[in-house]
Structure 1
């Protein structure tokens, strides 16, 4: 096989994988129980191609979670948490999380790998830990709670917000306001 043909094949493989992940995000956002066949059809590839790339539905879902994690980190990085006051940066963090909550695809019925999920949180934990440290140094965050506790509690509040949305108990605006108020109180951040 020529080098040009191998490159074309790699590009096609990458395109198919990307199309399948994008289709899974769209389809599962509407029908979390959708089959590989449905996802493949939405991606414009055969069911066999979907299985050739991912092996199992669970492996495709892991790739979807990885993609969502990558997008989340991109959104949080774009919030530029190192700029301005810690309180303003916290506001941008909360706004970014709110936008992510409205976009993320949920997989209620699928058990996920807790080790992989924990690894996906590491960059977020690092961003939050640095923000909390900066807020404490400047006197904007007055809590005496441990930083790791604050990080874990913030992530838990994010998951609680997600569950409220998923269950239909609240709309995005209400959840965003409650998340903002809860995190600000947790950090001892003065609101203006």
Structure 2
């Protein structure tokens, strides 16, 4: 009897959790400063329901980003597998930014601050190692400026995320123009042409 009476509660809890994660993903897709109260309002539940599932904002972000972090690592892994280093770098930046557009809370992967979970810390380390492989390959192939490293690429991603955040409401694709400018400036032949001129 008691087992049967708890089943609907578990189903309701699972439904509420899914609703909260969906609401949080929607909110982070359009803004950066999201509170647990905002998530409760968006999900149509009381704030107590949010706190029962996610006692802190970090707990919510951890749950929200776990699958997305795997996608971010996969993007870096696939880009590193490209035989053409420049194509790999371009793919990494374009796909990473596409993921940022879809999930605003993923800035935690490119952020330089203290990671809020071991999952994020591990993802950052893995991505940094893969990006260094991409950079080394492109430099060996003579397509990427020799004075760049994985840290520079991460800082460029941070700058692009800042552009995305600043223009998300009015022009969410605006970052593409800045990305094109950055890529143009990183190409080895462009640097050589500028020095000759």
Please indicate the TM-score interval, normalised by the length of the shorter structure.
0.5 to 0.7
Counterparts in 2 of 1:182 and 1:47: CA distance versus 1, 3 Å: same
Partner of 1:129: 132
Counterparts in 2 of 1:6 and 1:134: CA distance versus 1, 3 Å: farther
In 1, distance between residues paired with 2:125 and 2:11?
30
Deviation sequence 1:148-173 (CA, Å, 0-9, x none): xx111111111111112222399455
In 2, distance between residues paired with 1:158 and 1:64?
21
In 2, distance between residues paired with 1:15 and 1:180?
42
Partner of 2:22: 22
Deviation sequence 1:97-133 (CA, Å, 0-9, x none): 331242232599xxx9933165442222122111122
For the 8 Å contact 1:37–1:47, the answer to whether it is kept is yes
For the 8 Å contact 1:165–1:175, the answer to whether it is kept is yes
Counterparts in 2 of 1:54 and 1:173: CA distance versus 1, 3 Å: closer
Counterparts in 2 of 1:160 and 1:43: CA distance versus 1, 3 Å: same
Partner of 1:73: 73
Relative to the length of structure 2, the TM-score reads 0.66
RMSD of aligned C-alpha atoms?
A: 4.2
SS in 1 for 2:80: coil
Partner of 1:159: 158
List alignment gaps of at least 5 residues for structure 2. Answer: 192-197
For the 8 Å contact 1:87–1:189, the answer to whether it is kept is no
List alignment gaps of at least 5 residues for structure 1. Answer: none
Partner of 2:63: 63
For the 8 Å contact 2:54–2:60, the answer to whether it is kept is yes
Number of matched pairs? 183
Partner of 1:103: 102
